[in-house]
Structure 1
Amino acid sequence: MADYKHGSMDITEQEKTFAGFVTFTTRAVIAIIVFLLFLALVGA
């Protein structure tokens, strides 16, 4: 088995990807809520 040291892997790309996913999800949820409020106010 290869020599592996816990915590030695470079995870900057994974952190960037996760941050992007969280940002996208947050914006999508906000957009959905705004859209639903718009539908409720317009009475569609």
Structure 2
Amino acid sequence: MAEYEHGSMDITDKEKTFDGFVKISTRVAIFSIVLLIFIALVNG
């Protein structure tokens, strides 16, 4: 087996995927909050 060195693996693709996930999750959360506020204001 090859020797493994901690920190030697290329993780740029994983970082891009995680950043995209965080962006989409943030946008969905903001959209949901705005939608709930809108519904509350419309229904009075």
Displacement of 1:2 in angstroms is: 1.8
Aligned length: 44
SS at match of 1:24: helix
Match in the other structure for 1:26? 26
With structure 1 as the length reference, what TM-score do the two structures score? Answer: 0.93
Q: What residue ranges of structure 1 are gaps of 5+ in the alignment?
A: none
The whole-number CA distance in structure 1 between the counterparts of 2:14 and 2:21 is 10
The whole-number CA distance in structure 2 between the counterparts of 1:3 and 1:19 is 30
Task: List, as ranges, runs of 4+ consecutive aligned residues in structure 1 with deviation greater than 2 Å.
Answer: none
Q: What residue ranges of structure 2 are gaps of 5+ in the alignment?
A: none
Identity %: 61
Q: RMSD across aligned C-alpha pairs, in angstroms?
A: 1.2
